Amino acid sequence: MRRSSILCLGLTMLFGACRPADRPDGGRGPLPIGAVAPDVTGTASDGSSTTLSAARGHAAVVYFYPKDETPGCTKEACAFRDAFTKYEARRVTIFGVSRDSEESHKKFRAKHSLPFPLVADEDGKIASAYGVSSTLGMASRVTFLVGADGTIVRSWPDVDPGVHADEVLAAAQAAQAAQAGETKAMP
């Protein structure tokens, strides 16, 4: 059993947490494959803003994590950082989302040289729109791969921070290859 599952089980026993989140669209739990990904706006290390909708035409990763500077979250962010040039080469944009403030994100990006935008979801509305549950004011660790058309291609509701960045990149490459095959097959 993964650590996150054990944590969820323990928190469920204590607080009744970890149940599937109710989404504003009336659904429950993480957005399903084929759903349109809600837009997010993140700030990069240079202070510029970028949106998920600006990445249309290319794949994107929207990953939710509990808190800046915690061991698992730092490990996950640094794994995405270390694989960033591979993501760039595939034209895949990365957005990290947590309930931390923009100021916290600014420090986190600077300390760990994170080259991708982080999204401050202080009120939890973005997590809610994606159906990501929150416990004690922190989003669960969930990742979504968004296709070039802006729809969810795949999601990971239980993430191993150490190997996750490579796993997501492989899925992005497979999705791009499948899309390229469909494009070639069209007259």
Residues taking part in catalysis: 73
CB 51 within 8 A of CB 133: no
CB 168 within 8 A of CB 158: no
Residue type, 51: T
Cα separations in angstroms, 41 against 51, 88, 102, 145, 164? 4, 18, 11, 16, 22
CB 116 within 8 A of CB 84: yes
The rounded Cα 175 to chain-centroid distance in angstroms is: 17
CB 145 within 8 A of CB 171: yes
